[in-house]
Amino acid sequence: MFVRSDPQQKQHATRLSLHIAILTAPGDLRQDKLNKEPVIIIIMSGTQSQATASSLQICRIMRPDDANIVGNVHGGTILKMIEEAGCIIGTRHCNTQPGDRCAAQLARVERTDFLYPMFIGEVAHVSAEITYASKHSVEVQVHVMSENILTGATKMTNRAALWYVPFSLEDVDNVTEVPPIKYASPGQEEEGKKRYEAQKMERLETKERNGELLMPVSAPEPYTVGFSQSSLIHLVGPSDCTLHGFVHGGVTMKLMDEVAGIVAARHCKTNIVTASVDAINFHRKIMKGCVVTVSGRATFASNKSMEIEVFVDADPLIEAEKGKYRAVTAFFTYISLDKQGKPLSIPPMKLEGDGEQRRFEDGKMRYLQNKAKRLADKERQQ
């Protein structure tokens, strides 16, 4: 464990506080886990007497068990760190006013870009900041930097926006109110409100197409959707959950990334990496004791990228009368790489039936929209 010194922090040592802590789940309370798990360093900005910090930073060195099969840091591990930072700052902010104690539950992750890979031995700096608050939800912007502690070189690897909703700890079906935040300008608040309304509309549209099920295909041909579609089944245990018995959003996202990676690898048969994640919508909470089925299928492939749709269905074991339900949905984008890390062409998909053709066209539309947005952002920065 180490703490990288920051000149700015040294200059303001009298009014900044440094907190080193581990956010533990019930499954982390065994002595062997406490001895082996890496320490997470949390840096809060603001004065020590301040009721809440508007931003924080989580720092952690990347270890071999954070790697994927080709040696760089697993995309799901990065998603878990992003969600953990958002959960900490969201829960802290939502408990700064009198009333029921609450926990911030992940409701949605906006598009998340994987700009550069992160490697074992590097230090991840996950910075989170609250950027908008509505009556019942809070937006957290997160940036991830990697640092090579041998050379001092740093680079931004990821950026994401997450939406959290506070649930009362006394009544988990009760959504509490979010304390207001101070904005730098009226324009900043207005831009945040636009983002809030846009994600609210997209969540409603996603709920309308949530009924689809992935059916197994017998003897599928290579490069068809049925050939690469994949599923994982996981029993939710204490180590997957918060202290209040709900699955961490980051745990779910890592499972989703693993399934999407299996789909991409089966289709491409090469080294594949996560390029981006389109919006992840958390429709319903998943409780401890549920069996979750995480399923993925290819929906679109361009020359250099591949879109994979992922569903998470939860089936309560103890309260079986509640029935199986769709908990989370998302689209992941993967790219194929050669042994030197250079992008390869994606094999064309063989489409079968009107449903696959429709999903392909929808995926193509999302691909073109995201491409146009990237070009527009690049032009604004120049």
Please indicate whether residue 68 is annotated as part of the active site: yes
Number of domains observed in the structure of the chain:
2
Output the pLDDT for position 207.
63
Angstrom distance (rounded) from CA 213 to CA 131: 36
Question: Is 204 within the bounds of a domain?
Answer: no
- Give the pLDDT confidence score for residue 216 in this predicted structure: 76
Residue 69 located in a structural domain: yes
Residue 241 lies in a domain: yes
Q: What is the pLDDT of residue 204?
A: 76
Q: Say whether both 287 and 376 belong to one domain.
A: yes
CB 303 within 8 A of CB 310: no
Residue 252 lies in a domain: yes
Whether residues 97 and 37 share a domain: the answer is: yes
Q: What is the CATH number of the domain that holds 275?
A: 3.10.129.10
d(Cα 231, Cα 262) in Å, to the nearest integer?
9
Q: Is 120 a member of any domain? A: yes
At 121-151, the pLDDT tens digits run: 999 999 999 999 999 999 999 999 999 999 9
Which residues face 325 on adjacent strands? 314
> Is 143 found in the same domain as 96?
yes
Mean pLDDT value of segment 249-275: 96
Query: Is the residue at 205 inside a domain?
Result: no
What is the structure's pLDDT at 43?
A: 52
pLDDT computed for residue 260 by the predictor: 97
169 close to 100: Cβ distance less than 8 angstroms: yes
Catalytic pick among 66, 240, 257, 278: 257
Q: Distance between CA 108 and CA 194 in Å, rounded?
A: 16
pLDDT higher at 374 or 160: 160
Q: What phi, psi does 241 have (nearest 5°)?
A: -115, 160
Q: Which domain holds residue 229?
A: 225-381
Chain mean pLDDT for the chain? 85
Residue 133 lies in a domain: yes
Instruction: Give the pair of three-digit tokens for residue 172.
Output: 């988990």
Catalytic residue among 66, 68, 72, 240: 68
Q: Which of 63-77, 87-101, 120-134, 192-206 has the highest mean pLDDT?
A: 120-134
Task: Give me the mean pLDDT over the 75-103 stretch.
Answer: 93
Tens digit of each residue's pLDDT (9 = 90 or more) over 41-69: 555 544 433 444 578 889 999 999 999 88
283 pLDDT higher than 80: yes
